[in-house]
Amino acid sequence: GLATALSSAVLAQDISGKVIGFSQIGSESGWRAAETSVTRQEAEARGVDLKFADAQQKQENQIKAIRGFIAQGVDAILLAPVVATGWEDVLAEAQEAEIPVVLLDRGIEAPEDLYLTAVMSDQVLEGRVAGEWLVEAVGDEECNVVELQGTVGSSPAINRKQGFEEAIAGHDNITITQSQTGDFTRSKGKEVMEAFLKSTNGGEDICAVYAHNDDMAVGAIQAIKDAGLKPGTDIKVVSIDAVPDIFTAIAAGEANATVELTPNMAGPAFDALAAYWADGTEPEKFIITESKLYTAEDDPEGEYERRKDLGY
Ligand code: AHR
């Protein structure tokens, strides 16, 4: 309504003209592409001059980009950190230069005073929501699960694994029989799933695949089909992100469930920076986004359309 329009107009005024560097991981997934596009839209709507740097999945490129932003004297830095460790030095340099850093979507293992805030999901909860869905779906049935992990050393891979394991703990009928990284990509997800299928007599013993993101699930679905099995029926598919393509698969009965991760991390990040610059308001250290489960019962066609309209 009008009130929202007015308050966002005020916010837009607050940070218009600011120069903000964004060190993005790359374009490994549909979700990542959506985050990039939403961040650009949010920056434009607020009159922010966004300096975008694509690291092509390499931490060293991110560190270089951050040093470049510091040298340019940007007003703030958004960082989506590819892995969790190894950030202390460069973030201390940003702190020394008095440039606030906001983490987007992934966490790091470093002293919390090195960043202003982190806008991210509760990634352990995401894994738990996926695991709880599976526990419900299989009941007392024996279920061998294969797991496609995200990028090695990234916070979502570590935490989504932990959360899922927590959810199935105590359910002795559910076992993770194989687990390997698919690096959050469709092609690796397919490749690793093919290997899982080969080593289990064509998938006979696999009851479900848990993928740390939708893209790997989409790759796995292809591999399952190529092996002559029905994804969603012969092998259940559960993943995380809620991107349009997984809703297409859910609508077709080829995927069963996904946990939503909003691509709009930049909106809350810019709001936090606006308040910080306006009067020194310190944001919460972690601004946690929602983790909602979607299945075939949640209007997958409509969810697909809604995301397309949002510019995914
Ligand atoms: O950090 C968020 C994760 O990174 C998304 O779930 C995945 O799709 C992306 O690559």
Of the CA atoms within 13 Å of residue 217, those in its CB half-sphere come to 34
- H helices within 51-122, ranges in order? 59-72, 88-96
Residue 10 has pLDDT above 60, yes or no: no
- At a CB cut-off of 8 Å and minimum separation 6, what does 6 contact? none
Q: What span, in angstroms and rounded, lies between the C-alpha atoms of 67 and 91? A: 9
pLDDT of residue 4: 53
Residue 260 has pLDDT above 90, yes or no: yes
Amino acid at 133: W
Centre of ligand 1 to C-alpha 161, Å, is: 14
Mutate to test the pocket of ligand 1, among 155, 184, 186, 258 (most ligand atoms within 8 A of CB): 184
Mutate to test the pocket of ligand 1, among 28, 79, 105, 215 (most ligand atoms within 8 A of CB): 105
Which atom number of ligand 1 is nearest to the Cα of residue 240?
6
Q: With a 6 A CB cut-off, is 35 part of the ligand 1 pocket?
A: no
Which atom number of ligand 1 is nearest to the Cα of residue 243?
8
pTM of the predicted protein model: 0.95
Which atom number of ligand 1 is nearest to the Cα of residue 212?
6
**Among protein residues, the one whose CA lies closest to atom 4 of ligand 1:** 32
Centre of ligand 1 to C-alpha 279, Å, is: 33
ipTM of the complex: 0.99
Cβ burial 11-29 (10 Å sphere, 16+ → b, else e): bbebbeebebbbbbbbebb
Burial class (CB in 10 A: 0-12, 13-18, 19+), 89: exposed
Residues 190-205: pLDDT tens digits? Answer: 999 999 999 998 878 9
Q: Which of 191, 228, 229, 227 is nearest to 211 (CA)?
A: 191
pLDDT of residue 252: 98
